[in-house]
A = this chain, B = another copy of it.
Amino acid sequence: MSPLDQLIEALRVLPGVGPKSAQRMAYHLLQRDRQGAARLGASIVTAMEKLKHCQRCNSFTEADVCERCLNAQRDPALLCVVEMPADLAMMEQTHTYKGLYYVLMGRISPLDGVGPRELQLEKLIDRASDGVVNEVILATNFTNEGEATAHYVGAVLQARGIKVSRIARGVPVGGELEHTDIGTIAQALVERRSL
């Protein structure tokens, strides 16, 4: 395969990119923005080499344990479970939460072939069973998949005697944290209820 065909083929790894749009992207990179393309290539290589999952929160980090997890100012008795790093970022922006996090890196979604096994909940269970965590706050989305994930994760943790709460349904039903205003998220956090 020529470097051009290889590039077009490789671009299809991106979500939602089919053959036509991979071709369009390749021409765009080659024709309009070679500098940006070189930067993109290098950034991908660097990111794949350097980024791994934090041993504690499962988010992406260069270190074994990320800075947030090592921050002694945060309350280690509270562990907030979110679906994705973008959700964690939204929680942080509320300035309402001073505990720690666990990022599932997904949600239970049978249609996408993601069951409880794929979420590797053992890692969360270990994390929540460290003897310091006093309460796990479930902050998955209020979509069907996020709710199913909260129910499942909540049941698994409760079965191990861990106290679990769910952020309040202040987030509109069907809504996603990433697209919710900060005030609503803050309220939902304060009004979390025990499971």
Contacts and interface: CB of A to CB of B under 8 A. Distances in A.
Counting chain B CB atoms within 10 Å of each CB, the highest count among A45, A84, A178 belongs to: A45
A50 B3 CA distance: 7
A3 B51 contact: yes
A85 interface: yes
Interface string A23-62: 1111111110110111111111111101100000000101
A162 interface: no
A173 interface: no
B45 A29 contact: no
Counting chain B CB atoms within 10 Å of each CB, the highest count among A28, A43, A45, A105 belongs to: A43
A112 to B, nearest CB: 10
A10 B47 CA distance: 11
10 contacts: A3-B47, A11-B43, A13-B29, A13-B39, A14-B28, A27-B85, A29-B48, A30-B60, A42-B45, A45-B45
